Structure 1
Amino acid sequence: MKVLITGASGFLGWHTRLRIAALTDHQVLTASRENWDILDELVANADAVIHLAGVNRAATEDAVERGNLRLGADLARAITLANKPLRVVMSGTIQVTRDNAYGRGKFGGLRQIENATVAAGGHFVDVCLPNLFGEHGKPNYNSFVATFVEAIALGNRPKIDDNTVELLHAQDAAQSLIDALSVHEVRTRPIGQEVAVSRVWDLLEEFHSSYALTGEIPSLTTKFRIDLFNSYRAALFPQNYPIALVPHSDARGSFVETVRCRGGEGQASFSTTEPGVTRGEHYHLTKVERFVVIQGEARISLRKMFTDQVIDFDVNGSRPVAIDMPVGWVHNISNTGKGQLFTQFWSHELFRPQAPDTFPEAVRIESGDLSR
């Protein structure tokens, strides 16, 4: 199926593309600010549309409302011009029940898109989303969680107006949007985690107090903790890496603690790699994974999905450091030395063959080959 994603370069767009690439065979077309002028052509070539483009913040409330109405009108026009039945999925919001500019704009856009879809014989699905958070959210734009993460990384404490909110991780939202490509319903409502705003800050402080200083992994005993920790550590990458490890040496040799974790599952393993050989070439959706070279020389390389910039870390066993792989970043490790390479790997969960959370992709790609 050819699926057009509008707002593909945004926060939820990246997560949705990532999940589609990992778990489906759909061919993805993308629409964003850079190519919005060919929206009609893109819709005409698609079998389905996932509409994520929206305006969260603007100079005025009126600009937020009008921006979302305009995006809805543009897509409705393109659907009408395509003149064929389309499956159209829209990322709606719980804000439509509230009298604010964002809610009014999203609701007005939704109605235009729905009417155009039904008139052309297609099927429209409103995926009504609560507050979202996740990796690579923009502070002061996508989520207060992203704002908190930035503040704690900078050593600031924001003003906290404490209340209870419903939070849904962007990967769960993405799965709801993908599921909507095949449901019979016209509206779905994924449920998030009810949590106090102050509790989110407290958890981030807990993570930061140990991880930022020593690389200690916090307790990962619930899905929400894992999702929040992944969101936090993604904001630290790459500027806070590698994580220095401390050798304890005496006449017998050295002892280095490579992973210290406060709770949950965990699985450690090691590999040997011959000179010139590369391991990895994959990415994960949720897994917390650490690489530590304990003997030999290596280059650890990473690339954020749908981008072409590669980040390299040259490491060796004589100066032990840890690199933690952000989710949604393709990674590998190459033996760049003359002898055998010994690497320890650790992940926060046991390996499950039926759900390995490992998706093949090359770190280094031909320029422009970012269509997946």
Structure 2
Amino acid sequence: MPTFSAQVGTLLELYKIPQLHPFLRKSQLINNIVYNKPRDEKRKMIQYDIYNLVRFPNRSWLFVKVGDFFYSSTYDQDSKQCVQCPAQEYPNSERTHCLPKTVTFLAFEDTLGTAIACIALCLFVLTAVILGIFVKHRDTPIVKANNQALSFILLISLLPCFLCSLLFIGHPNTATCVLQQVTFGLVFTVAVSTVLAKTITVILAFSAVKPRRTMRCLLLSGASNSVIPICSLIQMIICGIWLGTSPPFIDIDSHSEPRNLIIMCNKGSVTAFYSVLGYLGFLALGSFTVAFLARNLPDTFNEAKFLTFSMLVFCSVWVTFVPVYHSTKGKFMVAVEVFSILASSAGLLGCIFVPKCYIILLRPDKNSWKALKNRRGYK
């Protein structure tokens, strides 16, 4: 008969089977009967007979069997010392072996990667088509309005804005890790500074109508065009410091997803990365402020209002980007950055150029010098 290490008085309380579970977990059971299954050396089964001490009305005592306790396990589960799996591996569900983690990244073959790549290419083609329309109708009033050269610069800068998102897809390497951040910072600086230059042009054009020789000279000299190289030079200096001190590099994230090894581009200097974003945000906020103040100026084709809407979309996308970027992990973090690039670029393209293409293609009667002279203020 098996014995228990607990006191006999404790057994008097064990009348119900569910009450045995906490008792068995805390007690040391001693049994001389051990059954080994034949033909299976890896498994062992132990059986305990559970008895209860019952008192009868005549004050006699008797041990009554109330149940059995069976325990079976494998030897490779009863390890004396646990060993943590390496960073490149994870434990199986039984925690008996370490399995290799799957290498993952935002690949072109993934559904998400394919969708992003298709969207980027479609927007690139659309931008190229709009650029071709503007080149074909370059002698019309709507294309010449508000500095024709700046419109071409903005359209050309939007082309690499859409293409640079492809650098974030595929297996990362040293070249793509460096190019994706530097290209993104520089081409977006050119695009946003061009919007700022176009907004300044609207203000100078309105001021030049008044008898102010200084404003007229600034407009004719193309002073607003100098905004682009100056702003771009500052961003180039920031990117140069970034690459010279702590450039981006390939990194492996083995902690975000328990069963995956995430191949990613480490930003290197986080301060430099947010300096690039902060500078872009400063330019975008400045462009939005200037465009908002100039939105009611009597512009011929509502250029100031279109610029205001475009910068509103741009700023909204990147303000939303920061919290969402920090709340995601792995390849979804990369997807959030790519989506922000595509959404902000599409905002500039759609708000500034789509209304003009509508007039060029569908309302050509409004895009003639005769119609322009017949408008109020030109009679």
**If you compute each CA radius of gyration, which structure gives the higher value, 1 or 2?**
2
TM range (shorter): under 0.3
Q: TM-score, normalised by structure 2?
A: 0.20
User: Hey, which of these two has a bigger chunk of strand by percent?
Assistant: 1
Q: TM-score, normalised by structure 1?
A: 0.20
User: Hey, which of these two has a bigger chunk of helix by percent?
Assistant: 2
